[in-house]
Structure 1
Amino acid sequence: MHTIEFVTIEVDDVAEAEAFYAAAFDVSDRVRVRGAQEPSSGFRQFTLSLVVSQPATVRNVIDSATVAGATVLKSPAKSLWGYGGIVQAPDGTIWTVASSSKKVAGPATREIDEFVLQLGVTDVTASRQFYADRGFTVSKSYGRKYVELETGTVALTLNNRAALAKTAGIPADGNGSHRLSIGSTAGDFADPDGFIWKAPAG
């Protein structure tokens, strides 16, 4: 099984981004930043999702990110599937913080149960086949709408691009660099939507 060890977010100001992520989220083992000036506008075709245990922790993490400089795109609230909110980091990356539970079960923490990279792709079926052909294990598949892959430390989902943008609360239009690279045991390649995968150094 191929795994994703971390993601690298490309930013204009490395020091600022490192300070933000240190204050906002406890995910330093799975998120790296590096300087880059690649042009990018609009939706970058991905979001990062933090799954936590309960609503109080959702609010705590959203509050920490907001104090650190994030912009709230969707305030924490109940939904059919649970409880969650969405913020955008100063570097432009969109983060979802969610829990399947709708009830507070104890004091808020900053503990992250699952870290998910959600790719917004043009053709979910074609992308699913591309990754399967490269040796990735598909754990769930819902036709042309949604696919989950088994990728270890960083979970991976393939989503319809327009649907993912709608969930994030922003227009689906965008072009230029994704400003993201994916550190994985699968090696070096680019997928059909232009996401860059790199083998971890060493």
Structure 2
Amino acid sequence: MASIESVTLDAADPTAARTFYTSAFGLDTQVHVREAPPADTGFRGFTLSLVVSQPSTVKSLVDAALDAGATAVKPVTKSLWGWGGVVRTPDGALWKVATSARKDKGPATREVDEVVLLLGVEDVLASKAFYVEHGLAVGKSFGRKYVEFATPGSPLKLALYGRKALAKDAGVPPEGTGPHGLTITTDATPFTDPDGFTWGAPGQ
């Protein structure tokens, strides 16, 4: 079964991007950065999320990201599903910090429960079938709207969402042109999915 070992993000200044991810989010092995020209002009077609345990931790991590050079896209607010906020990191990627908890149960921490890669795709069912053919097992599926794969042992979780719906959730227009600026590191044979997302071996 294919698994996600890490993601590599393109950045014009990889040193600054690496410093951001370690200082703001405490991420090291899950996210790598390589030097590359700016990626998609507009929505890149994906978001990354930090899932945490309570609202104060959401605010703590978003504040740390802003202090480290990120820009606010959606402020931390309460919704039907809990609390969350979205920032654009210095390399241009969109990151959401969220919790399903409605109230704090203790002091704020910087502990991250899950890192989730959410791909915005044109046809959720077609992409779901493609990934199943490439060895991924479905964990949750909600028709044409959302698919979450079971990737036990992987440091990142993978899910699919409609591109327009994902852009709306992130608070940005869905339009974008150019490369995604993302490579997913896998233990499987390298491939490119129907929406142009590249899976490759370490170092690619």
The secondary structure found in structure 2 opposite 1:84 is: strand
1:87-144 deviations in whole A, cap 9, x for unaligned? 1001110000001101011111111000000000010000000001111100111111
1:107 aligned residue: 107
| Displacement of 1:23 | 1.7
2:175 aligned residue: 173
**Map 1:91-102 → 2, pairs under 5 A:** 91-102=91-102
**Map 1:105-184 → 2, pairs under 5 A:** 105-151=105-151, 152-184=154-186
Q: Is the 8 A contact 1:58 1:99 kept in 2?
A: yes
Mapped to 2, the partners of 1:8 and 1:155 lie a distance apart of 15
Q: Is the 8 A contact 1:121 1:193 kept in 2?
A: yes
The secondary structure found in structure 1 opposite 2:120 is: strand
1:194 aligned residue: 196
Deviates more, 1:100-109 or 1:31-40: 31-40
* TM-score (norm: length of structure 2): 0.96
Gapped regions of structure 2 (runs ≥ 5) = none
Mapped to 2, the partners of 1:134 and 1:169 lie a distance apart of 31
**Map 1:25-104 → 2, pairs under 5 A:** 25-37=25-37, 39-104=39-104
Letter paired with 2:68 = A
Distance 1:174 1:61, change over 3 A: same
Q: Is the 8 A contact 1:55 1:102 kept in 2?
A: yes
| Displacement of 1:39 | 4.6
Gapped regions of structure 1 (runs ≥ 5) = none
* TM-score (norm: length of structure 1): 0.97
Mapped to 2, the partners of 1:39 and 1:113 lie a distance apart of 28
Mapped to 2, the partners of 1:140 and 1:40 lie a distance apart of 29
Q: Is the 8 A contact 1:139 1:148 kept in 2?
A: yes
